[in-house]
Amino acid sequence: MVTQAATANPAVRPNKAGDALPALVGYVLVLVGIPSALIVKPLGAAGTPAQIVAIAIFGWWVASRVISGRPPERTNPIKWLLLLFAVACVSAYVAGMTRPITYSVEVNSADRALLSLCAWAGIVLVMIDGISTRKRLDTLLKVVAGGVGVIAALGIIQFVFKLDLTHIIRFPGLTQNKDFGQLVARSAYNRVTGTTTHPIEFGVVLSAGLPLLFHFARFSETAKHRRWWWTAVCLVGIALPMSVARSGALGGLIAVVYLFYTWPGRLRLKVAVIGIVGALVMSVAVPGLLGTIRGLFLNASSDPSTQGRTADYAPAFSYVKEHPLFGRGVGTFIPSIYRTLDNAYLGLLVEAGILGMIAFLVLLIGAGFVAGSVRRRSKSESTRDLAQCLKAAIAVLAVNAATFDALGFAMCAGMIFVYIGGIGSLWSLESRGRPRPPRRLSDREWKRAFIAGGVALLAILAVGGLGVQAAKPDYLDYGALIANPPGQKDLAPFTNTSSTSATVSVLRDIMRGHAMREKMAAAGVPLYEVALRNGSIVSGTDLEGDSGPVLYVETTAPTPQIASAAIGIVFREAINQVSSAQAQVGVPASGRIEMSILQQTPPFPVYGRSSRSHIGFVILFGIVAGTYYQFLRRRRMPRINGEPALVPSDNQLVSAT
């Protein structure tokens, strides 16, 4: 009988996903309630409470998939998008660990980036597989929206009473890792942060959460609840300008525009009136604040923050040229060594290469398309509006990711993946009533697919393994030059004058110039860098260092002989530059500043981290192999008494006797 066949066939068993709502609610509460600057000290920067909870959730998901043996269901498109992003990030990690790494802090940061990826993936996957009803999804999203409203209220209190939250927000067992909650002035106004770590993050988190507040203000069960949510909308509208940031204002505008054309006319009028009245009240209560926000946009081209962002492009693209495809490794671009990149896409381009940045863009844009498909298919007005609100939240975050490092701020990054998980969960819930079993493969097709996939996996294993094993070290030679005041060569190490400091500063700029680099390359110097005291000795850095008589030099080459010869060429050129410049302006020999070699170390090798590259490659291979296994498992032809049989539809199961 069909019923017996269906019972024997595990592919048609009902979904028994576990209820993950309590764990997800706990994660959201920790994410918005505990500043990411507070960490569990033994775990370091990776020990934020939200990340610890998220990693535990990811482990729970992995264990449930391995232990439960639940048959695969209809594939969620968000999972494929997340898979693409995860593969790109892990590939970048492997590539980063195979290149020579000078600073151990880069390795630690890359490990933290991989843990963050696990945390983000865990939230998305558990939201997709562990939320069983629309009501429970609404409960989770209400916690998210309520948390945004609380952050807004806290920001308003901070602005009005000029509170430094550092001395108020304390949690037992947590240690402050960096500053947070402090008021930072901009254009005579204090910028607030709430429980975020920066005013820009504050504005972006609030503007991305605004669509959810609008949704629950429209579709809550009772008039009392709807009034509470409209109050939260007003709180966010008041708090957004208090960040004194373009990102918050831009995000709020994007959120309203995305929703405005989908609202009925009466609601449009209501929101327009509230916006106008709110603007007038803000103008009276805080004179000049809205004008300051407007000025930030009108004077953006001359604003130092905008100029600093545009100044990052040229150095960043020089790093991209070194490792264009996979980048220099996720998490390895340390601001304290290189420079701060206020652009998440630019940061991914440097760290994860072209593939990583494209994968992130595809994840965000694809999530928007999935939300749009849910909106088009659903007949429920509430579901259609929720899909549009989640799409608006992703749009706010996607645009503002170009204005600051969205993935570098824990709360903002967490919110990105909560909203993506919300879209995936909504898609799954809406698709359960429309089962569409995948096309089953015949025995011959299944064997061909198995052989082809096995060969491909072996090829990946061979090529990737050989690439990891073939990684070679770089050789560095390190030295220093010192400017000697006229007639004081023996005392030079203890002498610092304005003339020697100025000479070394000018020499540093000359040696870092494009023309000099071309000249050195023609002379056989593959790569060199110069720096002042306390400055970063890497290319493209914005850490210039302190004035002083010493110029530090570093050369990088594939062999120790080339590195040693290269630093000698750089030394001679630097000494000649100072001597010839003084001769050209007529400085007598007795009054010239002389450069001499202060220090030079023997060349030493710098390796990658082979153990981590092997671990990363095993993880990458496991992801690909596991995906391939699930693909075959979903499409394996079920058999009854040794004969092929089709999987019956739900209607057939109901009608069969």
Helix boundaries (H) for 131-245: 134-161, 199-219, 223-239
460 within 8 A of 622, measured Cβ to Cβ: no
Asked whether residue 419 falls in the same domain as residue 386, the answer is: yes
What pLDDT is attached to residue 643? Answer: 40
Cα–Cα distance measured from residue 580 to residue 27, given in angstroms and rounded to the nearest whole number: 65
**pLDDT band at 450; cut points 50, 70, 90:** low
Band of pLDDT at residue 297, cut at 50, 70 and 90:
low
pLDDT tens digits, one per residue of 193-204: 888 888 899 999
pLDDT band at 47 (very low <50, low <70, confident <90, very high): confident
Predicted local distance difference test score (pLDDT) of residue 307: 73
Residues 450 and 502 reside in one and the same domain: no
Residue 472: the pLDDT is 80
CA–CA separation, 189 and 454 (whole Å): 62
- Banded model confidence at residue 13, pLDDT cuts 50, 70, 90: very low
Show the domain range for 379: 2-9+18-431
**Residue 112 within a domain:** yes
Average pLDDT for residues 578-595, to the nearest whole number?
A: 85
Is there a single domain that holds both residue 76 and residue 26? yes
Pairing of strands 175-176, 604-606: unpaired
Q: In the chain, what is the straight-line distance between the N-terminal and C-terminal CA atoms, in Å? A: 8
Taking CA atoms, 453 is separated from 446, 585, 627, 641, in Å, by 10, 72, 11, 28
Comparison of pLDDT for 167 and 414, the residue scoring more: 414
pLDDT classification of 159: cutoffs 50, 70, 90: confident
212 Rama sector, left if φ>0, alpha if ψ -120 to 50, beta otherwise: alpha
Checking if the pLDDT of 93 tops 50, the result is yes
Mark which of 374, 400, 431 sits at the end of a domain. Answer: 431
- On whether residue 161 sits in a domain, the answer given is yes
Do 318 and 463 lie in a common domain? Answer: no
Q: What is the pLDDT of residue 389?
A: 96
- Pair (242, 326) in one structural domain: yes
pLDDT at 541: 79
Q: Which of 606, 624, 650 delimits the end of a domain?
A: 606
- 655 assigned to some structural domain: no
Torsion sign across C-alpha atoms 401, 321, 568, 471 = positive
Q: Which of the four pLDDT bands, split at 50, 70 and 90, describes residue 15?
A: very low
Share of the chain above pLDDT 70, in %: 81
**Within this chain, do residues 387 and 510 fall inside the same structural domain, yes or no?**
no
Residues forming beta bridges with residue 476, ordered by sequence position = 556, 604
* 638 touches 440 (CB < 8 A): yes
179 and 95, same structural domain?
Answer: yes
Q: Which residue has the higher pLDDT, 494 or 209?
A: 209
Tell me the percentage of the chain whose pLDDT exceeds 90. 39
State how many domains the chain has.
3
Kindly state whether residue 394 falls inside one of the protein's structural domains.
yes
For residue 593, what pLDDT band results from cuts at 50, 70 and 90?
Answer: confident
Residues 522 and 478 in one domain: yes
Within a domain: 229: yes
Separation CA 107–CA 92 (nearest Å): 13
309 and 397 in a common domain: yes
In a domain, 653, yes or no: no
CATH number, domain of 493, equals: 3.30.70.1130
Q: Is residue 136 part of a domain?
A: yes
Same domain, 217 and 236: yes
How confident is the model at residue 446, as a pLDDT?
Answer: 61
Is 642 within a domain?
no
CA-based torsion, 617, 618, 619, 625: positive or negative:
positive
Tokens read off for 225? 């609840």
37 near 177, Cβ under 8 Å?
Answer: yes
Question: What was the pLDDT predicted at 344?
Answer: 93
Q: What pLDDT digit, counting tens, does each position of 389-417 carry?
A: 999 999 999 999 998 889 989 999 999 99
pLDDT of residue 449: 67
Q: Give the residue, 487 or 240, on which the prediction is more confident.
A: 240
d(CA 406, CA 409): 6
pLDDT of 442 strictly over 90: no
| Residue position matching structure tokens 């939260």 | 232
Do residues 357 and 458 share a domain? Answer: no
Do 252 and 332 share a domain, yes or no?
yes
